[in-house]
């Protein structure tokens, strides 16, 4: 008897019981289903990140608009002040001219 | 040889496609189950561990680059899983092979009995020696491949093989009618 050959014969591969592949696939489905909530959790994170980015852009745009309007209003007020000052000067000049005459 | 990108796509397809994963299980189930069964001498527990190994494969699949890589990974994980299992097994105290009861003496013609006795003796070997013997005689790997599969020095592998064979010869020669 050759021990090597006897060992090879004794330890040769054998198949598991019928249905083993199906049981592994069923367990795989369970594992797959359990890993899905992790994927779903990634969606709200992406949603919130996008929403926050959008709010930031809208906020910056609003601030820019506000500053522009404030500058325009200041410009109009300056022009109005110059007009009033010019009218006052004209009135003063007219009074001086009248007294001299 | 697959490129990494192609291999990654193949792995991804296998992960997503149940049929391809089932094919992979069918291809390797006899190897994984037999390693566990020879090591543990408990078919139910062997199936449970084999199932865990394949679930681990399912999670690891995207990182495996080729069919050869899958095969080597399965051998490595199964071997280490079995060694870890027997080390953690508290309820089943390990006894040295020398203390194991002598198996019943088979007749010369009773090869199934001799095969069963050999399986029993192999299963009683110490953990590392047991895995080395299974990879040598079930998987027909040479000592160099076993050393690579187990991350073990080749001298240690050869030492396990020689010592295990000597123990098996001694055990068998004590039985009348079994000459080795």
Question: Is A34 in CB contact (< 8 Å) with chain B?
Answer: no
Token duo for residue B72: 């080597």
A1, A3, A5, A7: best mutation site toward chain B, by most B Cβ within 10 Å? A7
Q: Per-residue confidence at A5, pLDDT binned at 50, 70, 90? A: very high
B138/A14 CB distance under 8 A: no
ipTM reported for the complex, 2 dp: 0.76
Q: Which CATH class is domain B4-88?
A: mainly alpha
pLDDT (tens digit per residue) in A13-49: 999 999 999 999 998 888 777 766 555 666 778 888 9
User: Which one is predicted more confidently, A51 or B6?
Assistant: A51
Q: How many CB atoms lie within 10 A of CB A58?
A: 10
pLDDT (tens digit per residue) in A39-97: 566 677 888 899 999 999 999 999 999 999 999 999 999 999 999 999 999 999 999 99
Q: Which CATH class is domain B100-173?
A: mainly alpha
Token duo for residue B85: 């299992």
Token duo for residue B123: 């299963």
Torsion of CA A37, A39, A41, A42, to 10 degrees: 180
pLDDT (tens digit per residue) in B36-92: 999 999 999 999 999 999 999 998 988 998 999 999 999 999 999 999 998 887 555
The confidence score (pLDDT) of residue B167 equals 94
The confidence score (pLDDT) of residue B154 equals 96
Measured between beta carbons, which residues in chain A are less than 8 angstroms from residue B30? 13-16
CB-CB contact of B147 with B157 (8 Å): yes
Q: Give yes or no for residue B2 having a pLDDT over 50.
A: no
The confidence score (pLDDT) of residue B110 equals 43
Q: Where are the beta strands (DSSP E) in chain B?
A: none
A13/B34 CB distance under 8 A: yes
Cα–Cα distance list, B72 to A46, B42, B66, B105, B151 (Å)? 38, 24, 10, 38, 12
Q: Per-residue confidence at B109, pLDDT binned at 50, 70, 90? A: very low
Measured between beta carbons, which residues in chain A are less than 8 angstroms from residue B43? 16-17
pTM over 0.95: no
B177: closest CA among B101, B99, B103, B100? B103
Measured between beta carbons, which residues in chain B are less than 8 angstroms from residue A20? 25, 29, 33, 47, 50-51
The confidence score (pLDDT) of residue B140 equals 95
Q: Which of B51, B59, B118 lies at the smallest CB-CB distance from A7? A: B118
Question: Is A15 in CB contact (< 8 Å) with chain B?
Answer: yes
Q: Where are the domains of chain A?
A: 16-100
- Distance in angstroms (rounded) separating the CA atoms of residues B100 and A97: 135
pLDDT (tens digit per residue) in B119-170: 999 999 999 999 999 999 999 999 999 999 999 999 999 999 999 999 999 9
Q: Where are the domains of chain B?
A: 4-88, 100-173
B15, B30, B61: best mutation site toward chain A, by most A Cβ within 10 Å? B30
């Amino acid at each position: 008897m050759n021990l090597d050959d006897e060992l090879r014969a004794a330890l040769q591969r054998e198949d598991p019981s019928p249905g083993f592949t199906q049981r592994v696939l069923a367990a795989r489905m369970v594992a797959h289903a359990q890993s899905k909530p992790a994927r779903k959790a990634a969606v709200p994170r992406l949603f919130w990140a996008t929403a926050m980015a959008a709010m930031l852009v809208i906020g910056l745009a609003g601030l820019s608009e506000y500053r522009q309007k404030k500058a325009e209003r200041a410009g109009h007020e300056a022009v109005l002040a110059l007009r009033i000052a010019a009218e006052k000067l004209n009135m003063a000049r007219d009074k001086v001219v009248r007294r001299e005459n | 040889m697959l490129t990494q990108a192609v291999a990654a796509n193949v792995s991804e397809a296998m992960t997503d496609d149940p049929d391809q994963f089932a094919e992979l299980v069918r291809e390797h189930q006899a190897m994984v189950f037999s390693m566990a069964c020879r090591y543990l001498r408990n078919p139910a527990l062997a199936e449970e561990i084999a199932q865990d190994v394949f679930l681990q494969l399912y999670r690891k699949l995207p990182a495996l680059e080729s069919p050869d890589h899958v095969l080597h990974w399965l051998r490595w994980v199964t071997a280490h899983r079995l060694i870890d299992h027997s080390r953690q097994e508290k309820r089943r105290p390990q006894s040295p092979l020398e203390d194991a009861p002598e198996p019943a003496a088979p007749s010369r013609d009773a090869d199934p009995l001799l095969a069963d006795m050999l399986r029993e003796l192999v299963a009683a070997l110490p953990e590392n020696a047991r895995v080395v013997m299974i990879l040598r005689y079930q998987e027909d790997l040479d000592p160099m491949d076993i050393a690579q599969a187990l991350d073990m020095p080749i001298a240690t592998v050869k030492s396990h093989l020689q010592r295990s064979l000597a123990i098996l010869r001694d055990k068998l020669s004590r039985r009348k009618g079994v000459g080795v």
